[in-house]
Amino acid sequence: MIPVAGFEGQEVGVLGLGRSGRATAAALAAGGARPVVWDDGAPGRDAAEAAGLTLRDLTAPGGMTGLAALIVSPGIPHLYPAPHPAIAAALEAGVPVDNDIGLFFRSFGSDAFARHDTVPRVIAVTGSNGKSTTSALIHHILTEAGRPAQLAGNIGRGVLDLDPPRDGEVIVLELSSYQTELARALTPDVAVFTNLSPDHLDRHGGPGGYFAAKRRLFAEGGPDRAVIGVDEVEGRFLANQLTEGSGDPRVIRVSVEQGLKDAAWSVFARKGHLAEWRKGRQQASIDLRPIKGLPGAHNHQNACCAYAALRALNLGPRDIEAGLASYPGLPHRSQLIAERGGVAFVNDSKATNVDAAEMALRAFPRIRWICGGLMKEGGLGALEPHLGSVAKAYVIGREAEAFARALPGVEAEICTTMDVAVIRAMAEAEPGDTVLLAPAAASFDQYDNFERRGEDFVACVERGLAAGR
């Protein structure tokens, strides 16, 4: 646990009692604060009361009285489409609103964690797509190289639930836009921006607000090094804002669409080969094509981002290459489930938006595509140029018919359920095909989350293979 510094003897409100909220309350208490907690759901309140936490209805009149701060869980709206009533009350009362990420950076930089021969470092990763894989990949490579490391944030553990850092340890944080937008302290040593595509626009008031939330990771704390994906205009703009000129090495530019040989420091992948260039000279190269845990250009971008972040901490290219080669992949993200009779089965349930699905469709030559769910704003039109690899679509979800109609020129079968879709795809797959779950939609019409959807796909594949289909 990371005890929260700066609130000794003071009451601090905690709104939302999921994983991060519970960890926040415990870390505040460990630092000498007096947390008072609230959750809109009765089960969360009951669990908090059973754990001995002090409940207070933070939405009631006077709920903000005496609070030094209000700490908010990431799923709770604080600005758009409208602030949660407790947050609105805090804004009215002048109570500072923060989240666990802000508390982490506030506490991590305190004297108690600076007394090391080799000071611990923090790598923070944000972006629309690939941030989970990039974060996990960085952590995996560090571990394989014998470097102490912990992984937290939007993946794995809550940040305040981390162990106090050891000498020379690297903390790897995956940060969502919800987390970066609200945190009052953001001071990573290395910050990574993978890419940007439309997502969560209702929570940020449009694409400008969404980009601004991501940009705060770089603008608020001023990382020593910034790793920026520059294949979208927002990344190019951000890289430009962070540099003092073409020779400034504080920004490492990353691309999978262009060679960046003229940049002061760059890492890019072309035709499956990663290359690092500095000041016009190539420093290292890695063939990414044989790495089964990193298929496709989108994963090559993740590899480039991870490579660049680790080079910023002076890890050697050969150590990074060894870690890349042994990376097993994350569940639900281009995860190879099985291979049978020349047919591969890949679980990319995390492809919940069109841009992520596009990357998955570009990664394999011939696809039996399981897709569908709750379509997001903007529809599926952006996928049309990338449907040439789709031999057939097997559409699931309550909106399966409408989803299938939005796929012009693609043979589509209305399956509705995962079980039917997998059975049909397995029956029709030929050697060289990939049966790919990449829904391009949210899961909430049939599943609690994308993880449950991916787990159902894996179970259906395993049953089908066991039955000899």
In the chain, ranges of CATH 3.90.190.20 domains: 335-466
Note the pTM of the prediction, 2 decimals: 0.86
Q: Tell whether 353 is in a known binding site.
A: no
Q: Tell whether 20 is in a known binding site.
A: no
The tens place of each residue's pLDDT in the chain, 469 residues long, gives: 899 999 999 999 999 998 889 999 999 999 999 999 999 999 999 999 998 999 999 999 999 999 999 999 988 999 999 999 999 999 999 999 999 999 999 998 665 555 778 889 999 999 988 899 999 999 999 999 999 999 999 887 899 999 988 989 999 999 999 999 999 999 999 999 999 987 777 888 889 999 999 999 999 878 999 999 999 999 999 999 999 887 889 999 999 999 999 899 999 999 999 999 999 999 999 999 999 889 888 899 999 999 999 999 999 999 999 999 999 888 898 899 999 999 999 999 999 989 889 989 998 999 999 999 998 877 898 899 999 999 999 999 999 999 999 998 999 999 999 999 999 999 999 999 999 999 999 999 999 999 999 999 999 999 999 988 6
Q: Tell whether 59 is in a known binding site.
A: no
In the chain, ranges of CATH 3.40.1190.10 domains: 103-325
Q: Which amino acid is at 345?
A: F
CA-to-CA distance for 25 and 48, rounded, in angstroms?
Answer: 10
Q: Tell whether 177 is in a known binding site.
A: no
Q: Tell whether 128 is in a known binding site.
A: yes
Q: Tell whether 130 is in a known binding site.
A: yes
Q: Tell whether 131 is in a known binding site.
A: yes
In the chain, ranges of CATH 3.40.50.720 domains: 11-98
Under a CB-based contact definition with an 8 Å cutoff, are residues 346 and 436 in contact?
yes
Look up the CATH number of domain 335-466: 3.90.190.20
Question: What interhelical angle do 418-428 and 450-466 show, nearest 10?
Answer: 50
Task: Say which CATH topology domain 11-98 has.
Answer: Rossmann fold (3.40.50)
Look up the CATH number of domain 103-325: 3.40.1190.10
